[in-house]
Amino acid sequence: MKKTYLTLSPIALVTTLMMSQAYADHTVLHDVVVTATPMTSPFLIETDPKQPRQPLPAHDGADYLKTIPGFTVMRKGGTDGEAIFRGMAGSRLNILVDDQNVVGGCNMRMDAPTAYIFPEAYDKLTVIKGPQTVEYANMGSAATIKFDREPKKYEKQSSSLFASGLVGSFGRHDEIVQADTGNEKFFAEVVGTNSQQNNYKDGSGNTYHSAYHRWSTNAAVGLTPDNHTRVELSASISDGWAKYADRMMDGRKFLRENVALKAEKKHISELVESIGFQISRNSVDHIMDQTTFRNNMMSFMAPEARVDHLSTQARLFSVFNLGSKNKLKLGADYSEATHSAETWASTGGIWSKTAGLTDNSKFKSYGVFGELTHQHNESSKVVSGLRHDWANADFYGSSNKERSDGLTSGFARYEVKYAGNMSSYIGLGHSERSPDYWEVVGSSTASGEWFNSTKKEKTNQLDIGQIYKTDRQSIAASVFYNKINDFILLGYSSGMISSVSNIDGHTYGAELSYSRNVNDQIKIITAISHVRGKDETNNRSLPQLPPLEGRLGVSYDDKKWSAGALARFAASQSRYVANYGNIAGYDLSSPTGGFAVYSLNAGYVVDKKTKINFGVDNIFDKTYAEFISRTGSSGGAPVNPATTRVNEPGRTAWLKATIALD
Ligand SMILES: [Cu+2]
């Protein structure tokens, strides 16, 4: 019998208890643990990132997406996983925080954008499936994922506080405190997060080199001179470190600094509903090395590498009412991203730094967009959008290179609500993207061999969604077919990108869910997701497609006590294309078998403002790995097993306490 240890973090508990005594009588929050996020409307999902989730997510954005059917996460260690939606990853997902693109710095993808997102610091997580919005730069062909703070309105001087503390197996503890204050003219908000975990063990007791620590702070101040005007200045800093089970280096520094200014004026005239602008600057300073968290240095690579990514973005946006039936959003944006790296050289096996941070590439784009909503009648509307980007990139290598791409994207969808709680939509979208930094710069040699030869990728996607909802039950289906021309396919050799080619292909699949309230307390939820894809050029499967996945959950909630059980099933996957993939990773040369993982949770609402949830994930301590995974690499890491795939954590117990006060 293996034991599961639960260590209580004094900081988390003390913070939580102190606050629960100081403020006792207000309303809370949400009641149940999220296991399968339902669809909000036929084409989008909105969820509250402060709600507890099962399995326990790491303290980063990717793991929070895992509870949404259609998403999978590629594991590299304890954190910093790579989100994949319907088999699409990297720049095919547009990930935004408060409407800004977040990008990582590491050329080896230690830090997917979600590595810098601490979901609990936000109020809302939105996923728009498919190319069904043109409002944001770097359009996501597979999905647009937004983490937002909701602008709060203060009628009179008031303050509120939100705090949560979490403790779990493997020495996990998280603390989050969010406070805000304001009156009718002014507001200020501050959020701090902290999260730490030791190396985890899989179900067989193998310890993976996977510990991490992350902290973040975010502050915002603003003016609301009248009811329709809002000006906000915000800044955030986060840093941390992470050990990796899938490679020979660890991340010692992930410093992100962000500053943004946003202003918006609403209800200007009958014609102009709102107008606003936002400018922001993001910098990521990342250092990975072979020496801080492991011994036995590999002499074929430099002892450390430092990379910086600096991006600036600006956007103008406006909404016009054209008569009572038409609403037009118009906007323009600019984004610029500069990558730099230190260089090292080896002489007779001795490594030395030959240059400090030097720019290796710059990606720029100017975009304009328009999105028109035509309310056809009370129950149906047509939404369509068009966007054009002038994208330009410079490569600074042994000889400098430049490329320019005109990118035109657009979509149209018809949404209808029928009588009797049924709504559906059908949408067609086209999106274009030029190759990104990771595809054509991050792994290339100084000659930039793929920089000019890689063509832009074009996606045409048909999306259909339907929801039927009554008091007792809800059925949701979303189905897609995606034809991709010049899909950017990466080939890998010894874990490094060794080829970049354009192929034609397609994917199709569906996410289906059904939930039913058996009575006022008991609810059953089921969800399945599936995707298939074909590389038409090479007449084989597309790589990095997850297997069929299903969830079955049952929950009990009497508003005081709650309990839930979740079973997650994944089918076997024998369709793989060894050593091909995308910037996040590649298919390993073996299939995976199916697996089932069972988890339990329970909760207690202490009072209107305080609640406690606890759970045990993977109760049977199953040893398993996701099909989309990285290879376990023992190189130099003191504890890491060299497994085909990085196994998921074994039995994990956790306890989370949440307090909201206002
Ligand atoms: Cu790195």
The predicted-structure confidence for 290-345, as pLDDT tens digits, reads as follows 999 998 788 888 999 999 999 999 999 999 999 999 999 999 999 999 999 999 99
The 10s digit of each residue's pLDDT in 573-616 is: 999 999 999 999 999 999 999 999 999 999 999 988 899 999 99
Distance from residue 170's CA to the centre of ligand 1 (Å) = 24
Distance CA 119, CA 49 (A): 5
First CA to last CA distance, the chain: 46
Question: Cα(526) to centroid of ligand 1, in Å?
Answer: 38
227: left (phi over 0), alpha (psi -120 to 50) or beta: alpha
**Which is nearest to 617 in space by CA: 559, 658, 656?**
656
The span from the CA of 431 to the CA of 66, in Å, is: 25
Q: Exposed e or buried b for every residue in 3-31, given b needs 16+ CB within 10 A?
A: ebeeeebeebbebbeebbeebeeeebbeb
AA identity, residue 284: V
**Angle (nearest 5°) at CA 391 between 386 and 394:** 170
Residue 243 Cα to ligand 1 midpoint, Å, equals 11
Q: Give the C-alpha separation, 243 to 288, whole Å.
A: 10
Cα of 379 vs centre of ligand 1, distance in Å, is 50
Which of 37, 105, 137, 68 has its CA nearest to residue 340? 105
Confidence of residue 24 (pLDDT cuts 50, 70, 90): very low
349 pLDDT tier (thresholds 50, 70, 90) = confident
Expressed in angstroms and rounded, the spacing between residue 162 Cα and the centre of ligand 1 is 33
pLDDT band at 141 (very low <50, low <70, confident <90, very high): very high
Whose tokens are 């149209």? That residue is 412
Structural domains present in the chain: 10-661 (2.40.170.20)
pLDDT at 458: 98
Instruction: Tell me how far the alpha carbon of residue 614 lies from the centroid of ligand 1, in angstroms.
Output: 34
Q: How far apart are the CA of 107 and the centre of ligand 1, in A?
A: 6
pLDDT band at 23 (very low <50, low <70, confident <90, very high): very low
Would you say residue 437 has pLDDT above 90?
yes
DSSP string, 8-76: PPHHHHHHHHHHHHH---------S-BSSPPPSBTTEEEE-TTS-BSSPPPSSHHHHHTTSTTEEEE-S
pLDDT-derived band of residue 633, with 50, 70 and 90 as boundaries? confident
Q: Which two tokens stand for residue 617?
A: 């994930």
Spatial distance between the Cα atoms of 238 and 280, rounded to a whole number of angstroms? 16
> From ligand 1's centre to the CA of 435, what distance in Å?
20
The yes-or-no verdict on residue 25 having pLDDT over 90 is: no
Query: Which residue type sits at 257?
Result: E
Kindly report, residue by residue over 473-529, the tens digit of the pLDDT: 999 999 999 999 999 999 999 889 999 999 999 999 999 999 999 998 999 999 999
Question: How far is the centre of ligand 1, averaged over its atoms, from the C-alpha of 546 (Å)?
Answer: 25
Q: 279 alpha carbon to ligand 1 midpoint, in Å?
A: 27
Instruction: Report the separation in Å between the CA atom of 106 and the middle of ligand 1, taken as the mean of its atom positions.
Output: 4
Q: Count CB-CB contacts under 10 A for residue 207.
A: 18
pLDDT of residue 43: 82
Distance 105 CA to ligand 1 centre (A): 7
Distance 104 CA to ligand 1 centre (A): 9
Looking at the chain, the whole-number percentage of residues with pLDDT higher than 70 is 95
- Of 262-276, 400-414, 621-635, the range with the lowest mean pLDDT is 621-635
Is 427 a residue whose pLDDT tops 80? yes
pLDDT at position 598 is 97
Residue 131 C-alpha to ligand 1 middle, in angstroms? 30
Query: What span, in angstroms and rounded, lies between the C-alpha atoms of 53 and 621?
Result: 19
Distance CA 433, CA 411 (A): 15
User: Percent of the chain having pLDDT more than 90?
Assistant: 81
Beta-strand (E) ranges in 396-472? 401-418, 422-433, 457-469
Please give the mean pLDDT across all residues of the chain: 91
Rg (CA), the chain: 24
What spacing in Å lies between the alpha carbon of 117 and ligand 1's midpoint? Answer: 17
Question: How many angstroms is it from 219 CA to the middle of ligand 1?
Answer: 27
The pocket of ion ligand 1, defined by CB under 5 A, consists of 106, 108, 110, 288
Q: Exposed, middle or buried: residue 496 (CB in 10 Å: 0-12, 13-18, 19+)?
A: exposed
Q: What is the pLDDT of residue 12?
A: 44
* Residue that the structure tokens 């499967």 belong to: 541
| Alpha carbon of 91 to ligand 1 centroid (Å) | 18
